[in-house]
Every structure is written in C-alpha cells, then in structure tokens.
Amino acid sequence: MDEIILAKKAKSGDKDAFAKLYTLYKDRLYRYAFYKLGSKPDAMDAVSDCICEAYKNISTLKKPEAFSAWIFRILYRTCSRYIKEQAQSREQSELDENTASYTDNFQRTELSEALSLLSEEEKDIVLLSTVAGYKSREIGKILRLKPSTVRSKLSRGLAKMRDFLE
C-alpha cells in the first residue's frame, strides 16, 4: 500500500496503518539512530521513543506525503536529547568506574572514527543521506536547511571522511 495512503489512514486513527508505516521505516530509523548514538541499546531506545511520540502526535502531521521527513525530524530531536543527556551524565560521573571501564572496553571502528571528525550537523547530513537514503531536498526539510546547503555540507563531510579513511 502507498505510504501516503497509510499516513492518511494513520492520521485518522488507523492503528494498523501506523504499524505498517513503522514496519516500512524501522530499519532506516534504527540505522540512523545507531550511527548517531553509537550504541545498539541507545539506538533501540531512541527509535522506540520516536515511534511512541509519532504515534501520540500523528494527528499533528500536516501533510501525509511529508511523513518521512516528519518522523525523521522526531528521531533527530530524540537522538539530540539522548546525546545531551549522555553529556550531562558524563559530566556528573566523570571518574565513575563504570564509565571508565566502558571507555576502556569501547573499540571504535574506522567508520565511527571518521564520523567523529564531523560536526554534528555534517554527521546528521551524512547519516541521513548514506544510511537513511534521503536526497538533499528531504534532508533540508528534516534539518530545516536549504538543499544547496545540505549538498555542500554533505560534500565537505564526505571529503573529510574520505581523507581520514585513505
């Protein structure tokens, strides 16, 4: 069934239509959250929170054809909140043994290291493009940027990563 029809039905209260939309988007949402947050449990929690918020607020969706940008905007805000909470938590327990052992055991992949070179905005753009498969116009809607700005930041971000990985 067409995503727009599903979004219209979900907006009018059809639970099955929302469940089908979730099925269509869950993998892309998870991949984005995983690369943004760097951990499977956090990514799963972020997607779960995103879906709950989307379900509660589906009636606020203005244009059913914009469902994709709408749900990724919710996930973007959710991940940003998680990052902020993690930073606050780290500040409160900088020398906590659990944090130290986690840091010692955490091995970053080359991709994670390359992503860490990017600004948060560049990272969001690269992940939305490469992981979630969005075009610059769609990313612009999610992040509220001009498509031309998205394209230039994507190009610069990918160049930084390429230089690091080579």
Q: What is the pLDDT of residues 67-114, one digit of tens each?
A: 999 999 999 999 988 888 877 666 665 545 544 444 443 335 677 788
Which pLDDT score is estimated for 103?
Answer: 42
- Whether residue 50 has pLDDT greater than 70: yes
* DSSP codes, 8-45: HHHHTT-HHHHHHHHHHHHHHHHHHHHHHHS-HHHHHH
CATH of the domain at 122: 1.10.10.10
Q: What is the pLDDT, as a whole number, of residue 1? A: 64
| Interatomic CA distance for residues 40 and 33, integer angstroms | 9
* Percent of the chain's residues with pLDDT above 90: 57
Please, where are the H alpha helices in the chain?
3-11, 15-37, 40-57, 67-92, 97-105, 110-116, 120-130, 136-143, 147-165
Number of domains in the chain: 2
**Predicted local confidence at residue 102, as pLDDT:** 44
The candidate with the shortest Cα–Cα distance to 37, out of 75, 73, 67, is 75
Residues 6+ apart with CB under 8 A from 86: 42
Nearest to 72 by CA among 30, 10, 40: 30
140 & 92 share domain: no
Q: What rounded mean pLDDT belongs to the chain?
A: 85
Q: Could you tell me if 20 and 84 lie in one domain?
A: yes
Residue 127 has pLDDT above 60, yes or no: yes
Same domain for 125 and 101 = no
| Residue where a domain terminates, one of 57, 90, 106 | 106
CA atoms of 129 and 122, how far apart (whole Å): 11
**Cα 67 from Cα 2, distance rounded (Å):** 12
Q: Quick one: 85 and 71 in the same domain?
A: yes
Residues 28 and 97 in one domain: yes
Higher pLDDT, 128 or 94: 128
| Mean pLDDT value across residues 37-61 | 93
By mean pLDDT, which of 34-38, 109-113, 128-132 is the weakest? 109-113
Q: Which of 86, 106, 126 is the last residue of a domain?
A: 106
- Does residue 27 register a pLDDT over 70? yes
Q: What's the mean pLDDT in 52-66?
A: 93
* Domain membership of residue 129 as a residue range: 108-166
Look up the CATH number of the domain holding residue 47: 1.10.1740.10
Q: 123 and 100, same structural domain?
A: no
**Is the model more confident about 3 or about 87?**
3
Q: Are residues 62 and 83 in the same domain?
A: yes
Quick one: 131 and 148 in the same domain? yes
Domain boundary among 85, 106, 127: 106
Residues 52 and 62 in one domain: yes
